[in-house]
Structures are given as structure tokens and as C-alpha cells.
Amino acid sequence: MGKTTFSQLAETLIASEIVRLGASIKEKIKTGNHIYNYTIGDFDSTQFPIPKQLEDEIVQAYRDGFTTYPIAEGELELRQAISHFLEKREGLHYTPQEILVSNGGRPLIYAIFRSIVDKGDKVIYPVPSWNNNHYTHFTDGEHVMIEATRENNFMPTAEQIKPHIKGASLLALCSPLNPTGTVFNKAELEAICDLVIEENASRPEGSKMLYMMYDQIYWTLTYGDTHHYNPVSLRPEMKAYTVFVDGISKSFAATGVRVGWAMGPQELIIKMRSLNSHIGSWAPMAEQKAVAHFLKNDAAVDEYFIHFKSEVAYRLNHLADGFRKLKEEGLDVDAISPQAAIYLTVQINQVGKKTASGDILNDQSAVTEYILSEAKLAMVPFGFFGAGKESNWYRLSVGCCRKEDIETVIGNLRNALKQLS
């Protein structure tokens, strides 16, 4: 029997490199290695449990029999609670009719791409960034990749976007950014918004508009003096062209609870709802009821954020301090000061070095494997997020980091790097 051929999409879809890295980590664990796995954008629930009231509300909702289909756009009670949450905490006003609920952010992103992008349409997105390359591939769009740099905290600039904006259908942005944990500053985001407004004003009436997808799933997790900005608050005119991606997965360490939402122009939300209803990507009824009750409890939300954010910030700051100490000791590493999300951006520049056994680290993948084997530290290279494969920057996630392990992790890395010559 010859080779079976599937659809062109199935044949050309690239498997997740992070999943492949995860398989390598699991193999090492099976052979008795203790790996500090800081690759996954998830939480160890023993370190970061979901809010107790939310947990209680979920259990109670199941006991109350909320186990049937929800309505396609999300239960009205939940969309009203989301509207309250956004108004109170971000100053954004969206009616329930402008909000769509789904089982996490991914189906919403898929629906955004499917509702806006036709074959051959230009999709502008920065690299590194999470999965924009795959969603563009799903829709057979034209990839317009903006390579963000260290000088701009790995955030794309208006100057970089401007040459590509003519005729584009979607500008896919994320702030705080996965994988970097960095954010847009006010002036840069304003300049990008002005480009979108100007481009749409230049298009003939009735033609396809340029939309901005603004993924802000980490927006509640900012630290120190960092401030989260959004396009609609900065430029109210952007409300007609902006669709947000948001939810509870990161804000409340609730990645497995699967409740996300999008906010945007009502006509776009209706198209996305229709698409998602065919896929069946609803958030479970009981979880919707529970989240609706929890989001309206301002005191419980405030109490959770204070503790949760302090725990995440502690890990980010102490790991960043550890990398700075290694740099001060003369080792070729670096870290960007933590700004937001659960990620630390770190640099390990060791290509060309020789190991104690005489092997040469010929490329960045060899460096990644060496750090995994010798320091027992697993991180995700920026190359997995669309940056060049030889990028020596990494995403370090603290969602599964125990505070008591930080000194050991830095010590292991120090020892591994000092063995190189």
C-alpha cells in the first residue's frame, strides 16, 4: 500500500516544536534525571492554585445541575460579568453583544483568523510570538513577519510595521507578549494605532478593513512600574477595528478551566460565534456559571491578585537577579528585567564553546541540549516562536517554578557554563 495523502493543510502543518522539546524532557525524566522544566506556559497547581471561591463555585455549579449546552455566544450572566470586569479594571466598555465566550483563547484566535483572513491576504505579526505563524498557515494567508529586537524589548514598532500595512487584512499583536513577558509602551502603541486608523481611512467604502487582533490574555499580570496599554483606550476610534483575546487562564492560574472571551465589533463577533458554534468550542456550562459569580466579587478578585502576582513576581525577579549575577561573574548570559506575564526573557550565548568532553557546541540547538543535560534546566528557544533558529534568547516560564529551587537552578547553570571553554 502506497503512502496515504491527506489534505494540503494536514500535510504541511508544522508540529509544535515545544511539544517535541517536551518529549525530550520526559525521556530524561524517565531515565532518572530531575529536570527543572521551565518550558510550559502553564502553572503547577500546588504552587499556583486557582482562587478558592472560583473552585467552590465550579463544584457548586455541577451540583446544581449546570451540565447542559450553553448558548453559542456564552451565557448572558457571564458576558455581563465580563463587561463589569473590563469596565472596572481596564476602563473598557463592551456590551454583552460585543463579547464572545469560548473554551479558552485558542478557538477565539482561530475564529478571528477564519473570519477575517482569505487566501493570500497579508497577515502582519511579530517574531518571536506565539503561534501566529500556524494560524496564518491555517488560513493560507501571506506571512508578513516583523522581527522584533532586544533594543525594543522584543516588541514590534510602528516604523517596522508601516512599510507592510498597505492592503493587509490582519495585524496580530500581543501585549504582554508571549514569549517575552514584555509590553508595548504608550507612545509606540499609539503610533501603531494611528497607522491602522490611517490605512482604514484610505480604503474605499465597502472594502475589506484592516483589523487588529490584540491578545491581552496576560494583561492583569504586570509588575513594578509596568503599565498595560490597549488600543481602544488610547485611540477610541480603534474600537471599530480591534478584536481582543482575553480570559481567565493566566489571570487566575486557571489554564484547565477553559473560559476565554473575545471583545470586538458586534458584526465580527457574530461571524466568530457562527464559526465557533459549528466547531462546538463552548466553555462548559458549569465553569461559565462559576466564572460569572467570581468575576462580580471584586473583593475576592482583588485578594487573589495581590497574592498571586507577588508570588509570580518573586520568581521572575529572583531568577533575573541570578542571571545578572552570572553576567557579573563574566559568563555570557543576560536577562531582561521582568515586566509582565509569567515569562522571563534570558540570553545564553555559548555557540562555539567546547564541553568538558571535547564536543563543540556548533549551534544554538546544541547549547539548548547542553543546558538541559548539564544544568537540568529546560527553557524554550525563541527560534520556536518564529525567530531565527540561531537566536540565543529563551523564554523561561515560572508557572512551574518553586521558590526554593531558584538558587539551585542558578547554581546548576553556573556550574554548567563554567565547564565550557
pLDDT in tens, 66-100: 999 999 999 999 999 999 999 999 999 999 999 99
Other Cβ atoms within 10 Å of 267 Cβ, number: 10
Average pLDDT over residues 122-151: 96
Q: What percent of the chain has pLDDT over 70?
A: 99
Nearby residues of 382 by Cβ (< 8 Å), 6 or more positions away: 128, 179, 391, 393, 394, 395
Amino acid of residue 381: P
Span 205-215, pLDDT tens digits = 989 999 999 99
pLDDT tens digits for range 137-181 = 999 999 999 999 999 999 999 999 999 999 999 999 999 999 999
The Cα–Cα gap between 163 and 167 comes to 11
Comparing CA positions, the residue from 130, 129, 203, 122 lying closest to residue 163 is 122
Q: CATH class for domain 8-48+303-418? A: alpha beta
69-95: burial string, b at 16+ Cβ within 10 Å, e else: ebebbbbeebbbbbbebbeebbebebe
The vertex-147 CA angle with 20 and 317, nearest 5°, equals 70
For residue range 47-61, what is the model confidence (pLDDT) as tens digits?
999 999 999 999 999
Question: pLDDT > 90: what percent of the chain?
Answer: 91
Report pLDDT for 11: 87
| pLDDT value, residue 2 | 63
The cell for 416 is 554548567
Arithmetic mean of pLDDT over the chain: 95
pLDDT for the residue 146: 97
- The residue ranges of every structural domain in the chain are 8-48+303-418, 52-298
Fold of 52-298: Aspartate Aminotransferase; domain 2 (3.40.640)
Q: What is the distance of C-alpha 298 from the center of its chain?
A: 25
Whether residue 96 is preceded by a cis peptide bond, meaning omega within 30 degrees of 0, is no
- Identify the band that residue 12 occupies on the pLDDT scale cut at 50, 70 and 90: confident
Q: What pLDDT is stored for residue 333 in this prediction?
A: 98
Across the strands, what pairs with 145? 125
pLDDT bucket at 1, cuts 50 / 70 / 90: low
Q: What is the rounded distance in angstroms from the CA atom of residue 320 to the CA atom of residue 322?
A: 5
Q: Tens digits of per-residue pLDDT, 192-204?
A: 999 999 999 999 9
Question: What pLDDT was estimated at residue 26?
Answer: 78
> Of the ranges 12-21, 80-89, 148-157, 252-261, which one carries the lowest mean pLDDT score?
12-21
